[in-house]
A and B are shown apart, each in its own frame.
Chain A
Amino acid sequence: MSEKPITGEKRVFMTGNEVVAWACLAAGADIMYGYPITPQNEIMHYWTRQIPKYGRKFLQTEDELSAGFTTVGGVLAGLKAFTATAGPGNTLMQEPMSMAEMMRLPVVTIVQQRGGPSTATVIYSQQEVTMTTQGGNGEGIRIVYSPSNHQELFDYTLKAFNTAWKYRFPTFVLGDGYQAKLRESVTLYDPEERGYVRVPSEKYVGKPGTPGVDREPGHYRNTYNTEEELFEVLQQHITDYEKMAPEVIEYAQDNVEDADLVIVAHGVVFRGVRDAVKELREEGYKVGFFRPITLRPFPAEQLKVIANKTKKLLIAESAQGQLAKLVKDAIYGATAEIVPLFRPGVGITTEQIVARAKEVL
């Protein structure tokens, strides 16, 4: 039962959803609660096929409200619990995730974005950025990773469990339908062999002893009687969040030093941007890229430095300015002009990025 899911290193060719399932196994996730929605279904399929060998659990619930809230329950009971969803499922998931924010529950959610609004397409988009980073009523006290290839899906899913349990904020891995369904090469590895130290989980309810006799009862609530009471709790959460942010923020940048134009993109669109920058540089254009890996907390300071040096920021995203909003907020007051390349619900090719860059340079 306690056999390791992955020993050593394995070079494999598989879909993103399969990679996620393996990452959750490797991370030591104990239980998945889920509800079917394309394009994340195969995470559940692969998980349920593998778990009898490793003594892990699964529950298929009646909807995403329930999937999210049972995941919350799993975490309260002290298990590394996770769920996966997309699109309208992500919409429903925001209710349990706002409870996770309020109670500081390290729930891990994999989102494989699909088209929106509403049911839209089952395939692909980057339109769940605003919802995943800011969803729910409240302040968006959560962590969101945006991987751009299968290796990162594996790495950041692993990391998500540790970040969540270390800092106790709900944590999301924001993939998309292309990453979910595409097959590509990836190295799966035993995380411990690479020095990954599992942050232990801890029970919120059901700790040893009798509450009120040999320990205090755990009383968790999300309703407060007075504004001041809530304010105080939130001040603490926000202080913790701000303290955590520099430790968690991740980004990548290249060729920004002398750039007249810096292209900003995240997730799968970044792949096209990376190639576009290479091509443009070869042709002699002064172009670089900036890629936020954590969309929340956002690498604001790092991008602002660039936005004060370069002439223009070209924001490429498969949405109508959801990343752009994060960028504008982050660089407020900086001198760079923002130029959009927004294609909501469809992919963006290297050629399109190159063409747009030349147009605005």
Chain B
Amino acid sequence: MSVSPQPAMPKSWRAESKPHKFCPGCGHGLVLKCLGEAIDELGIQDRVVFGCDIGCSLLSWDFFNCDSVQTHHGRTTPVMTGIKRANPDMICVAYMGDGGGYAIGIGGIVNAASRNEKVTVLLANNTVYAMTGGQMSPCTMPGQKVETAPYGRDPEATGMPTQGPEMISAITGDGAYVARGTTSNLKQLKSYIKKALQNQIDGRGFSFVEALAGCPTNWRTNAEKTWAFIEKEMTQYYKVGEKKNPFEAKKEAQQNG
């Protein structure tokens, strides 16, 4: 009987800190795998500074063989902005959850987006505050039961979930790249992340990718139900795709001569 070999780790991953500390089946590891492969393919490991937030993303503080800064809850975008402004040669990646990005850190993101800061923000949307034990987050789905909405999120009382990429594409200027991918289509997610990094390398504008990611621990789901929730429920409301794509605009401009 032949045993299939372990899939290779991205080169930019730090072997010493593996196996990583996320729960089995967690979406964070998949997003970070896409990020790692994108860094490898673009050959930018020596220029990347990886910033992670508070939340489960902080477990990735020593995830890469890249310089990394683990910051305060919601403040990763300003820290990466500060680095980028000080050293424009660095490729600054801010990594966070939906709580860190759309609740406490929204001021930082919106303003960095408005200023078209040349940084890349990667946000894992798992519909909950995971690390603190599954409270309602800005992205909790209507009707979804979470610790602080035990009878299900009621949009009447708490509003509708935040549509991050839609908002960010509306407020960014030319040159911004905005997309929503999902951990259930890693090839596509990686291509988005790669473009978000390339956009920064090209110095064009703010880059933002939201990734739909599972949290089986707080969702209390098995593998099958985790994927079903991502693929059948989340994608109904959170439409996957590119929302703003300067690469397309560039192509069109070239074609139009």
A and B physically associate:
yes
* A contacts, CB < 8 Å to B: 30-31, 33, 57, 59, 61-63, 65-66, 69-74, 76-79, 81, 95-96, 99, 203-207, 209-213, 217-223
Interchain nearest-CB distance for A56 vs B (Å): 11
- Chain A positions within 8 Å of B84 at CB level: 73
Contact of A205 among B58, B61, B81, B90 (CB under 8 A): B90
Q: Which residue of B lies closest to A33 (CB)?
A: B82
| Inter-chain contact A73/B81, CB cutoff 8 Å | yes
Within 8 Å by CB of A73, from B47, B70, B83, lies B83
Using an 8 Å CB-CB cutoff, how does the interface string of B11-24 with A read, 1 for contact, 0 for none?
01010000000000
Q: Is B186 an interface residue (CB 8 A)?
A: no
Check B90 against A77 for contact (C-beta < 8 Å): yes
A70, B75: Cα distance in complex, Å: 9
What residues of B have a CB within 8 angstroms of the CB of A221 in the complex? 58, 61-62, 68-70
Closest 8 CB pairs of A and B: A73-B82, A212-B65, A70-B82, A77-B86, A62-B111, A205-B67, A69-B78, A210-B46
Checking B46, B72, B111 against A211 with a beta-carbon cut-off of 8 angstroms, the contacting residue is B46
Chain B nearest Cβ from A59, distance in angstroms: 5
A-B contact pairs, 23 of them (CB 8 A): A30-B86, A31-B86, A61-B78, A62-B111, A65-B107, A69-B82, A69-B108, A72-B71, A73-B79, A73-B82, A73-B86, A77-B83, A205-B49, A205-B83, A211-B46, A211-B65, A211-B66, A212-B12, A213-B45, A217-B67, A219-B67, A222-B71, A222-B72
Contacts A76-B83, A213-B45 known; 6 new A-B pairs at CB < 8 A: A206-B90, A210-B65, A212-B45, A213-B65, A221-B70, A223-B54
Closest residue of chain A to B104 (Cβ to Cβ) is: A65
* CB-nearest residue of chain A to B92: A73
Q: Is B236 an interface residue (CB 8 A)?
A: no
Q: Is the CB of B87 within 8 A of A70?
A: no
> B89: CB under 8 A from chain A?
yes
Contacts of A222 in B (CB 8 A): 70-72
Tell whether A65 pairs with B108 under 8 Å between CB atoms, given A210-B46, A217-B66, A220-B68. Answer: yes
Chain A residues near B107: list those with CB within 8 A. 62-63, 65-66
What are the residues of chain A within 8 A of B65 when measuring CB–CB? 210-213, 217
- B122 close to chain A: CB less than 8 A: no
Name the residue among B45, B61, B62, B71 with the largest chain A CB count within 10 angstroms.
B71
Closest chain-B Cβ to A124's Cβ sits at a distance in Å of 29
Q: Which residues of B contact A (CB under 8 A)?
A: 12, 14, 45-47, 49, 54, 58, 61-62, 64-72, 75, 78-87, 89-90, 107-108, 110-111
How far is B14's CA from A203's CA once the two chains are assembled, in angstroms? 21
CA distance A102 to B238 in the complex (A): 38
* Contact assessment for B86 and A65 in the assembled complex, using a CB-CB cutoff below 8 Å: no
Given A205-B69, A221-B70, are A70 and B49 also a contact pair (CB < 8 Å)? no
Output the least CB separation between B53 and chain A (Å).
Answer: 10
Residue of B nearest to A65 (CB): B75
Q: Which residue of B lies closest to A81 (CB)?
A: B86
- Chain B residues positioned under 8 Å from A31 (CB to CB): 85-86
Bound CA span A74–B92, Å: 12
Q: In the complex, what residues of A have CB within 8 A of residue B80's CB? A: 73
Partner of A223, one of B14, B61, B68, B86: B61
Q: Which residue of A lies closest to B58 (CB)?
A: A223
Residues of A within 8 A of B89 (CB): 206
CB-based contact A95/B81 at 8 Å: no
Expressed in whole angstroms, the minimum distance between the Cβ of B66 and any Cβ of chain A is 5
Alpha-carbon gap, A30 to B88, bound state (A): 14
B78, A66: Cβ atoms closer than 8 Å: yes
B81 partner residues in chain A, CB cutoff 8 A: 59, 61, 66, 70, 73
A212 with B78: CB separation less than 8 A: no
Residue of A nearest to B85 (CB): A59
- Chain A residues with Cβ below 8 Å from B58 are 221, 223
**Contact in complex: A219, B62 (CB < 8 Å):** yes
B108 touches A66 (CB 8 A): yes
Given contacts A57-B85, A71-B82, contact A217 B111 (CB under 8 A): no
A101 shortest CB reach to chain B, Å: 12
* A33, A69, A207: the one within 8 Å of B75 (CB): A69
| Assembly CA distance A61 to B83 (angstroms) | 14
Given A63-B107, A66-B108, A217-B67, CB of A95 within 8 Å of CB of B86: no
- Kindly state the separation between the CA atoms of A72 and B85 in the bound complex, as whole angstroms: 12
Write out the residue numbers on chain B whose beta carbons fall within 8 Å of the beta carbon of A77: 82-83, 86-87, 90
The complex places the Cα of A203 from the Cα of B90 at a distance, in Å, of 12
Q: Which residues of chain A are near B46, meaning CB under 8 Å?
A: 209-211, 213
User: Is B68 within 8 A of A73, CB to CB?
Assistant: no
Residues from chain B with a CB closer than 8 A to the CB of A70 are 78-79, 81-82, 85
- Is the pair A218, B67 in contact by a Cβ cutoff of 8 Å? yes
The CA of A69 and the CA of B70, in the complex, are separated in Å by 12
Contacts of B69 in A (CB 8 A): 73, 76, 205, 220-221
Specify which chain B residues have a CB less than 8 angstroms from the CB of A96 in the assembled complex. 72, 75
Q: Determine the chain B residues whose CB is within 8 A of the CB of A79 once the complex forms.
A: 86-87
Cβ contact within 8 Å between B79 and A76: yes
How many Å from the CB of A60 to the closest CB on chain B? 9
**List of B residues within 8 angstroms of A57 by Cβ:** 85-86
- How far in angstroms is the closest Cβ of chain B from A91? 15
Residue of B nearest to A99 (CB): B72
Per the bound structure, the CA–CA distance linking A81 and B87 in Å amounts to 12
The closest CB in chain B to the CB of A68 belongs to B78
Residue among A71, A96, A204, A211 with max Cβ neighbours from chain B (10 Å)? A211
Are A69 and B86 CB-contacts (below 8 A) given A211-B66, A222-B70? no
